[in-house]
Amino acid sequence: MNVTFEKKDALNGTIAVNLSSADYATELDQKIKAYQKKSNIPGFRPGAAPKSMIEKMFGTSLLLEAVNAAASKGLFDYIDSQKLNILGQPVLTDDSKIEELSKSADYTFKFDIGLAPEIELTVSEKDVFTKYEVAITDEMLNDEIERMQRRFGTLTDEETVTDNDIIYTKMVELDDNGNPVDGGVQNDSVPVLISSIKNEAIKNELLAKTKGASIDVNVFDLFDGNTTEISHALGINKLTVNDIGKNFSLTINEIKRNSLAELNQELFDKAYSDGSVHSIEDLKARLTTELQAYFGGQADHLFEHEMLDTLVAKQNIQLPDAFLKRWLMDRHADKFTPENVDHNYEHEAQYLRNHIFEEKVLSTAGVKVEESDIKAAAINYTRSMFGAYATTGLNEEMLESIVGPSLQKDDYRSRMINLAVSQKVREVLKTKVTVKTEQVSADAFFKIVAEHNEKHHTHNH
């Protein structure tokens, strides 16, 4: 066997695997014998058919398997021995097709490969990023307390709609003449929270209405164009939302009002069963801690995203784009076609750029991801899945019992390795860049997050 490598440029190359009959003869013989042992051919005892008959009946397909196996072994042994850092998987060239099989012939297979770029990491204290701190105000605390009072309050039946009510409605799809559509969408119990209606004209028309009143409404305006909410409200598939008419009749069946629970020990104990809250001051202190933790987590997430996005873009990582698009269409033809590959490729390319950057950060810093890091990532991930329950209902032993078996599964383990790598990369980068803090209001912070998400969404699409 002779394997050669032609490097076409820094990102592309071709590996040629030249096979003689001796390179696949042993593999072919083993395949014929294995097939002979499990054969069940009429006229012969199971496994006792002559080797010559097996070769005559199945020799061509077994020869093809043996040749392919030998070529694949030669290819990947060469990649491993030469420590080639490839992207994707090798793709057989069009001129490597076998026209005729013969067990005494020589064969040459050529594989195009994409090479990971060599990058020089440019990260320093000159890279400045902002970590936002959200100021917790009395207004925010009062809003949280009112939400708590509503959560533990009681629903009462009312006759007239006010801003804090929930109305239960019958909604019927209308045609252009205002008549019910024959076979159209209808739901007899659609809940609508008045305070969540962003269209002021619709909200004002519903306010002060009584049970039994009806109005015509644009359903897309009613639910602010949210197709998920519309599908849930009307009980239809999300994919069909854009096919329905926009005009509906809305009839108020019930009006429910949430009365605020009293601020007393009973409410404190319902909200915090650990008995740690005994006064308004205790409640505000607890809420302040919770809000700081929430906004701190959101601020960390935003800071890390901005840092990674900016630093990856700064490296200007080049990829073998044409090869990777060809590989995606070859290996994932159900998702990538000549018509959509350019559009769908960018998401895959960004993932690869991030991966190359992360590998370079860790190798430059001499940091390795250990088994303990993977386990810690899995435990943190599990905690996040259980939300608030994880702080009271899950102890370390229970977390271990969940994480241990899960890490034996390849897909889950792979995801946890990626999380552990990302965490290590963030830790390293925070020691390299300059981090400045800036205190902002909650409204300002949410606006910054929205702008980041919009930029991120636009970039990815």
Q: Please give the model's pTM, rounded to 2 decimal places.
A: 0.72
Handedness of CA 241, 244, 248, 253 (dihedral sign): negative
Question: ∠ at Cα 380 (375, 385), nearest 5°?
Answer: 125
User: Residue with structure tokens 């590959």?
Assistant: 341
Question: What are the CA-CA distances from residue 373 to residues 92, 243, 311, 411, 433 (Å)?
Answer: 38, 49, 24, 17, 23
Q: What does the alpha-carbon distance between residue 91 and residue 83 come to, in Å, rounded to a whole number?
A: 18
The three-state secondary structure class of 439 is strand
- pLDDT of 378: 92
Position 101 confidence tier, pLDDT thresholds 50, 70, 90: confident
Among the residue ranges 52-66, 87-101, 365-379, the one predicted with the least confidence is 52-66
Element of type H or E holding 3: strand 2-7
DSSP, res 242 = G
Give the closest residue to 459 by CA, choosing from 315, 309, 324, 333.
309
Position 459 confidence tier, pLDDT thresholds 50, 70, 90: low
How far, in whole angstroms, is CA 12 from its chain's centroid? 30
Complete DSSP assignment for 153-177: SEEEE-SB--TTEEEEEEEEEB-TT
> Higher model confidence: residue 71 or residue 63?
71
The average confidence (pLDDT) of the chain is 90
Element of type H or E holding 149: helix 138-151
Over range 207-222, report the average pLDDT. 95
Q: What does the alpha-carbon distance between residue 99 and residue 375 come to, in Å, rounded to a whole number?
A: 51
306-329: pLDDT as tens digits: 999 999 999 999 999 999 999 999
Burial of 284 (0-12, 13-18, 19+ CB in 10 A): middle
Among the residue ranges 102-106, 163-167, 263-267, the one predicted with the least confidence is 102-106
Over range 38-58, report the average pLDDT. 73
Position 340 confidence tier, pLDDT thresholds 50, 70, 90: very high
Q: What does the alpha-carbon distance between residue 156 and residue 166 come to, in Å, rounded to a whole number?
A: 10
Q: In this structure, are strands 86-92 and 107-115 parallel, antiparallel, or unpaired?
A: antiparallel
Give the closest residue to 5 by CA, choosing from 52, 14, 125.
14
Element of type H or E holding 88: strand 86-92
Q: In this structure, are strands 86-92 and 12-19 parallel, antiparallel, or unpaired?
A: unpaired
* Number of residues in the chain: 461
Q: What does the alpha-carbon distance between residue 333 and residue 335 come to, in Å, rounded to a whole number?
A: 5
Position 461 confidence tier, pLDDT thresholds 50, 70, 90: very low
Q: What does the alpha-carbon distance between residue 459 and residue 455 come to, in Å, rounded to a whole number?
A: 6
The answer to whether the CB of 18 falls within 8 A of the CB of 2 is: yes
Position 457 confidence tier, pLDDT thresholds 50, 70, 90: low
Over range 430-449, report the average pLDDT. 95
Residue 6 half-sphere exposure, CB side, CA atoms within 13 Å?
A: 7
Strand-pairing partners, residue 4, are: 16
272-282: pLDDT as tens digits: 988 999 999 99
Which CATH number does 154-259 carry? 3.10.50.40
Say yes or no: domain 2-115 is CATH 3.40.50.620: no
Position 61 confidence tier, pLDDT thresholds 50, 70, 90: confident
